[in-house]
Structure formats: C-alpha cells, structure tokens
Amino acid sequence: MQVLHLELTNFRSYEAAEITFAPGVNVLVGPNGVGKTNIAEAVGYVSTLNSHRVAADLPLIRQGNDQAIVRSTFSRGQREIQLEIAINQGRANRLQVSGSPVRATDFISQLQTVVFAPEDLSLVKGDPSDRRKFLDEVLVARAPRYHSVKADYDRVVKQRTTLLRSIAGTRGASSRAGAESTLSVWDDQLAAHGASLLFGRLSLLNEISGLVSQAYEHVAPGKSAGIAYLPRSFSDIPSEDSLPRNRQALEELLHKEIALRRSEEFARGVTVVGPHRDDVLLTIGELPAKAYASHGECWSMALALRLAAFELMRTLDDSVGDPVLILDDVFAELDSTRRKALAQVAMTAEQTIITAAVAEDVPAELAAQQFVVTPGQVARGN
C-alpha cells in the first residue's frame, strides 16, 4: 500500500499544498513549526478519521475558514483509489471514495496507516483512555465494522449517563419510576454493544500480545514486555483470564454487573459498567510500565506497541500489502539501539513517511526521497 498523491486545501497551516510521494522512504525535512507534522497528520487522518494530535476536528481547519479538504490517491494492491474528506465547521464532514459519497464505516481503513509520534509516550504514562484508544484504533484497522460498534457504544453511554443524572435529580416517585423504566432499554443496548466491543478487544489482545513481546525484544534486546486487558468495571473480575470468550456470555456478565451496581449508578449519576472503564496493563519484566518504567523504557514500550500493530496489519491481506508507516519526528528522541531497530522496519515497509527537523536525524542507511518543508510550502529536495 502506498500514498501516491496528497492534496491539502485550508488544512492546518496549508492554504494549498500538493505532494507526490515515492515508494519506499519519504523524508519531510524542516525546522520545527513549519508544518511537517501537519502533512503526516493529514495522511493519518484520511486513513482513520482521527488525528494523532487532537481529539476534535476544528483545529484541522485553517484559521479564518469554515472548511478544510484532504484528498489522497493511493494504491491498494493493483487498484488506485482516491479518498476525499471535507472537514466542515459546525456540520457533518463529507466523505468520498473515488468520487462516490460513503459512510464512515465504508471509508475508514481504505488506506491503512500506522503512526508513531512523540505523543505515543502517553500510551505508557498517560490515562487509561489513551491505551483504550490505541486498542480501538488497531481493532478498527483490523476489522472496520468495529468503527460503528464503537460509535454505537459511545452513543449509548452518553445517553444512558444523561438519563442517570436526570434520575439522580428526580424527586417525584412516579417521574423516577418512568425514568428507571426507560433506563432498562439503555441497559440492554449497553450490554449488547459493550459485549461486542469487549469481545473485539479481547480477540485483538490475543493476536497482538505475542507481537508486542517480540517487538520489545527487538528494540530492547534481553528484556521482556507484555500486554494484558484490565476489565476495571467488573467488581469481581480482576483480569482478562476470568472473562468468557464469547459475546453472549460477555453480554450476560455485563447485565449482571449493571444490576449489582444499580444503586451506585443512581447515587453517582454516571455509567460505571462497561468497556469505557477498562484499562490495558503494560509490563516490563514483572513490573507495571506506568509506575516503574524509565524514560527510555517508555519509548521502547511505545515503539513496541506501534511495531506490533504494524506487523499485525501487514499480515491481514497479502493482496493489499503493508500499511503506510508514518514516523513523526521520533528518530531524534531515540538512542542508537532504538533508532537502528526502527530503521530496519522502515526499510522493509512498502512505504514510510518520516518527518525530521534536520536530515541528520534520519539514519543514514535509509535511502530516501527528501522533501523540504517551509511555512505553507513543500518542495521536492535533492
């Protein structure tokens, strides 16, 4: 899989920009603040409909405009496909695949990417939401149908929590009884969508855990690492080992937990049961990485997670090829061992897009097409 052409209109710092990428390694070079990461972000966004830098779309639109457009032509096997996103302020975005309007589920992961960036340190040291986001992004890339599963689940949690807050503030017995009756409908949906999402996450962990261990050994020889699921919202299930491995049993378990914690939810006015409460345990040796890892070990773990995702995605469909590997300003942060390990993977990928402040930050063994980035402009280098 390769990005052939990228066109930006009013995206971030670019009023207009066009870039034709080459197979293999492409390096975007320029001082900090000139817009290198904006290009990497655009490629990742057209793949996942998410930015690796911000949670909302509004910052992606150039100041003073109400719309940004990202177009990308890429090769997938023997086909060339054009993707277009119109990012609209205050209204729904417009998505097109080769000129035809599509829903997000049909758009997402047409182009597959793996992005490694400085922000990935939050996967180790950050909140549980960062680690859940990592799992869900890889899950959707592996099986795009989970995009709608996640969207449905998030919608149910939001609506159900709103109802719980209204119940907490209700005084009349009849009004409260009516609200509680409506709550049972949301309970069913929470259990159904939550079981689907939880099943997907557990299935993914089963596939990726060995790859994480292998990747960590590659970037930090002689050391071991692991990844496991922590089902935080279950009162009597401390680890994934005790969870069933089929959707129906997971749904029944969620229903049981909802009933057990009904009074707590009424008192707090929040949804306390479901995979939106869960976490991922990352370990180095026998110790939790979040509490005990050094700065260098955090980089190794974050890198191992992304490399494991890359290896998993490149084996899904031989006819499609590798995902595009995007390395956003990370080589300068790594020591020589980690730089070498990452460079070896970059050399094997069908296409890698790298950003760097100076060309010397990129390992010399990476023969690359270079682009020079200046404020608002991108030009092919030597």
pTM of the model: 0.91
Average of per-residue pLDDT across 156-172: 83
Average pLDDT for residues 228-237, to the nearest whole number? 88
- Assess whether pLDDT exceeds 80 at residue 86: yes
Take residue 331 and report the two structure tokens written for it: 């080589």
The pLDDT of residue 235:
82
Are the C-beta atoms of 227 and 208 separated by less than 8 Å?
A: yes
pLDDT score for 366: 84
Q: What is the DSSP letter of 65?
A: -
Within its chain, how far is the Cα of 324 from the centroid? 14
- The pLDDT tens digits of the residues spanning 276-304 come to 999 999 999 999 999 999 999 999 999 99
Mean pLDDT computed over every residue of the chain: 90
Q: Tell me, what's the pLDDT at 315?
A: 82
Tell me phi and psi for residue 123, to 5 degrees. Answer: -60, -30
Name the CATH architecture for the domain at 119-317.
Up-down Bundle (1.20)
User: Which DSSP string do the residues of 116-131 spell out, in sequence order?
Assistant: E-GGGGHHHHS-HHHH
More confident residue, 130 or 369: 130
CA 140, CA 50: separation in Å to the nearest integer? 12
Mean pLDDT highest for which of 166-170, 184-188, 378-382? 184-188
Q: Is the pLDDT reported for residue 177 higher than 80?
A: no
* Domain locations in the chain as residue ranges: 1-112+320-382, 119-317
pLDDT at 186 over 90: yes
pLDDT in tens, 131-153: 999 999 999 999 989 999 999 99
Which phi and psi angles does 324 have, rounded to 5°? Answer: -75, 130
pLDDT of residue 381: 81
Nearest to 68 by CA among 110, 36, 100, 38: 38
Task: Give the CATH number of domain 1-112+320-382.
Answer: 3.40.50.300
Beta strand ranges found along 77-155 (DSSP E): 79-88, 94-97, 100-101, 113-116
The partner residues of 283 in beta bridges, in order of sequence, read 226, 288
Q: How far is CA 303 from CA 112, 211, 225, 330, 342, in A?
A: 18, 12, 12, 10, 8
Q: Which whole number is the average pLDDT over 95-124?
A: 92
Q: Residue 122 — very low, low, confident or very high, per pLDDT cuts 50/70/90?
A: very high
> Is the pLDDT higher at 348 or at 190?
190
Residue 319 has a pLDDT of 65
